Chains A and B, each alone.
Chain A
Amino acid sequence: MNSTLLRSFLLQRFTSPMRLGLTSLFTFFPLVGVLLSGELSLLAGIAGPLAVLYAAGAIGQDVSSGTLQLLLVRPVTRPSYVLHRWLGAMLAALAVVLMTTVCAVLLLFLRGTPPEALAVSRLLLEAITAIAGHSAVMVMLSTLVGGVGDLALYASSLFVTQMFVLLATLKQWPALMRACNEVQGALGAKLSWAWLGTGMAPSAFAIVSWVSTITLALAVAITVMNRKELSYASG
């Protein structure tokens, strides 16, 4: 574990005014919703977008700015760099989710409707798995395009698959619908923890699918990075 790589990445992410502004937006409105409705589940949707926000440009920005050259002159391997960027993005998003959850729980206590421990645990576990999945996909996309082009790639992929979903629905094409669902599932890889505390067993298929999406995304990211030419001479 290279704590220097992680620390510098986290510092960079948390000192970016744009990211901090968007983080406030992503967390403020759900918190207001929690306060008004008393429903902790309103926070369920913030983990994915936060992971995308903090992983955006994780590698692409280093490549296009050229800072990656100086980093890789040091005794840091490319696979290690990719994995630390993934870990860093996860930790950044997780820190925000944790703080937001703590705030939400405090608000619910003040409101007089404290949440169940099981609901909080489920929320956090779903957030962790969603963050891990989204970050891995974003890190993979970040190796493919420079700057924060991965964000555009992610958004356009979601948009295009949504268009195909509409087409599949209109034309009654189940195969296309299934394919689109798979792509969307991969872009937003997460695990449901609804089974927790119900006595039911978790879905082995869902776990394998989630693990394999992350593994594949990171494997692609490492492969692309290993083949990447980092000199401007390469044009």
Chain B
Amino acid sequence: MPAIVVEDLVKSYARGLGARTVALDGVSLTIEPGETVGIIGPNGAGKTTLLGCLLGFLRPDSGRITIDGRDVDDLAVRASTGYLPERLVLDRWMSGRALLGYHHALAGLPAESRRADCEALLDRVGLDRAAADRRVGRYSRGMLQRLALAQALLGEPRFLYLDEPISGVDPAGIVVFRDILARLSESGATILINSHQLAEVERVCHRVVFVKQGRIEAMDTTRAGAAHARVLRVRLSTEHPVLPVEQLSAVATAAGATFRGWSAPDARFAVEDDSGATRLIAALVRAGVAVIEVIPEEGRLERLFTEGGTHAPAAPVTPAVALPAATDPADETRFMPPPAGGGA
């Protein structure tokens, strides 16, 4: 049974005298158990509304949502749901530890394990003990984010909704977040991430849903982790002679990469994955190319986001058009910017 099924969801808001704004216009989506799905799209696209409907905060005009075969308001569903809001509006008068204990009790988790569970979660999100005893009102944005994540993880939820989960989090926090998400996903939790951090979404999600003007414009299967195609911009030293374009292309082909163009002082190469990037760089250095910097270009999602945001079809098809995996060389160009400068 799918974890989450959204069928033909329509939601509009009253705006002024009889006017209505359609926030979701016939959205259909099926999410399997254990899947991590990212929801991306421009501001006002309907992402938060979709999340609000899934969490039971908003009542759809029509359509249906079932979670684990049950209604969104079913208490059994709520008991296995975790939510990290974008706006970190936690009870400011409580201490961090008290807030966790409060939500532990609200979630109906056993009182005997409350103390141990809360301490374990504080450790897991990297919130130190002294900070946990401070009033939430005195927390920094990063600390609030960690505490909010901790409350979302109470009871090992089977359905986890994360709204801008790494906004304001320091790099160490992002590493913690990735680790937690990976473990949850392994345990079979279904995770929905609403975020503008496209690189992070691409990194942690199995699938990405692109929402625009209340419709799902595209779905894309990413492969979590580092194994996805990208374009590398390799900056070469201007103090050394540069190999002819044909030779650069030959070196790239021998390393399993594709030469995409040259615009001094940068050469662009498409690689399959991280190991492909390593092979390419090693091959270039062996060939005597003076590499001084390697910069990954915009990710596939950024491209999808940009193209979707500016060249959207007038009447998009719902359910979504599934985009092919970007590792297919034939479709690579679809996600990549046109070669800048061209060869030689």
Contact = CB atoms under 8 A, between A and B. Distances in A.
Interface of A: 2, 4-5, 8, 12, 15-16, 65-67, 69-77, 227, 229-235
B83 interface: yes
A233 B60 CA distance: 13
B89 A69 contact: yes
B57 A230 contact: yes
B48 A70 contact: no
10 contacts: A69-B83, A70-B85, A74-B79, A74-B106, A230-B52, A231-B48, A231-B58, A232-B48, A233-B23, A234-B58
Contacts of A70: 83, 85, 89-90, 103, 151
Contacts of A5: 106
Contacts of B103: 70, 74
A233 B44 CA distance: 8
Contacts of B48: 231-233
Closest CB pairs A-B (n = 10): A66-B89, A231-B52, A230-B57, A4-B105, A74-B106, A233-B48, A75-B75, A75-B78, A73-B83, A75-B79
B232 to A, nearest CB: 38
Interface residues of B, number: 35
Contacts of B83: 69-70, 73
Given A8-B91, A69-B85, A73-B83, 14 more contacts: A66-B89, A67-B91, A69-B55, A69-B57, A70-B89, A70-B103, A74-B78, A74-B108, A76-B78, A77-B73, A230-B58, A232-B48, A233-B13, A234-B13
B299 to A, nearest CB: 27
Contacts of B81: 73
A15 B93 contact: yes
Contacts of B58: 229-231, 233-234
B240 interface: no
Contacts of B94: 8
B311 interface: no
A76 B106 contact: yes
Nearest to A4: B105
Interface of B: 13, 15, 23, 46, 48-49, 51-52, 55-59, 73, 75-76, 78-79, 81-83, 85, 87, 89-91, 93-94, 102-103, 105-108, 151
A219 B14 CA distance: 25
A16 B89 CA distance: 18
B9 to A, nearest CB: 14
B52 A233 contact: yes
Nearest to B51: A231
A126 to B, nearest CB: 32
A73 B154 CA distance: 12
A71 B55 CA distance: 12
A148 to B, nearest CB: 15
Contacts of B93: 12, 15-16
A66 B94 CA distance: 15
Contact of A232 (B56, B59, B87, B102): B87
B49 A231 contact: yes
A227 B59 contact: yes
- Residue in A15, A16, A227, A232 with the greatest tally of chain B CB atoms within 10 Å: A232
Contacts of B75: 75, 77
A229 B59 contact: yes
A16 B93 CA distance: 9
Nearest to B53: A231
Given A231-B48, A233-B58, A4 B102 contact: yes
A235 B102 CA distance: 29
